Amino acid sequence: MRVTTSKSKNSESFYINYAYIGKNGKNTSKVFKKLGTLKELSEKLNTDRDGVMAWAKEQARIETEKHKLESENVSVDFHPNRLINSNEQRSFNCGYLFLQSICKSLRFDNICRNIKTRHNYEYNLQSILQDLIYARILSPSSKKSSFEFAENLLEQPKYELHDVYRALSTLSVESDFIQAELYKNSHFIHNRNTKILYYDCTNYFFEIEEADELRKYGKSKEHRPNPIIGMGLFMDADGIPLSFDIYPGNQNEQLSLKPLERKIISDFECSDLFTVRILD
């Protein structure tokens, strides 16, 4: 890299230019960094033009060294006769990292910190909740299989399977709080359009022989004879989930709308001036 200058009628600007060979095989260059005008740099460095030029050349030298380090070839030695020990893990799943960034933007740490003040547990609720989310998106399965999936992540869990089962009770109790906080925090990364809300219902079957207080015999979406529970889901105008609730499987879907609508108005601090469209 080298220093170049550009003069106009009233000023002179200093640049660091990067020279390279283009796709056509010819030498070319581009501006890597603008250092400033002569007036700005003279006042900043308290020196004349020669002093500014000397400083600019030093900056070009520093940037050249940085570029060499960043583009330096790295050699990795492999030994074909060396065996990997049995049961030794060498590959990890890192596809969850982009989801981790979203969870951070949604402030899961603050949500779980507030929940901790109301409960007495020793496990890391934030880690469990986020790992369950990663697994549900990347490899949906049972909670046991989700834990096994988390063991293959680059950042492996520091909790045990029994902690996952214990955390489910806490997540169930705090479900409404988590949903409301996620909605509020989602405004930091996306403007929510709640003038129109979409409402949809579905149900899930359970492979059990007898119904209980929540899991009732009803009309299954999958035409299964098993007990089911129903779930109602509100989405905003962009189709992004807003809130959900569950209800007994033998309850009419239409009866589930009003309670969830009241929760949207109160807990989510949404205006009561919105239109609800029910999806078939």
Q: Residue 58's Cα: distance from chain center in Å?
A: 41
The token pair at 249 is 């499987």
pLDDT in tens, 160-173: 999 999 999 999 99
* Chain segment 55-77, per-residue pLDDT in tens: 999 999 999 998 888 888 888 88
Strands 196-205 and 275-278: parallel
Q: Is the pTM of this model over 0.85?
A: no
Residue extents of the structural domains in the chain: 2-70, 97-178, 191-278
Rounded to whole angstroms, how far apart are CA atoms 249 and 229?
A: 4
Give the residue from 32, 30, 33, 35 showing the smallest Cα distance to 14. 35
Mind listing the pLDDT tens digit for each residue in 114-171? 999 999 999 999 999 999 999 999 999 999 999 999 999 999 999 999 999 999 999 9
Residue range 250-273: mean pLDDT, rounded: 78
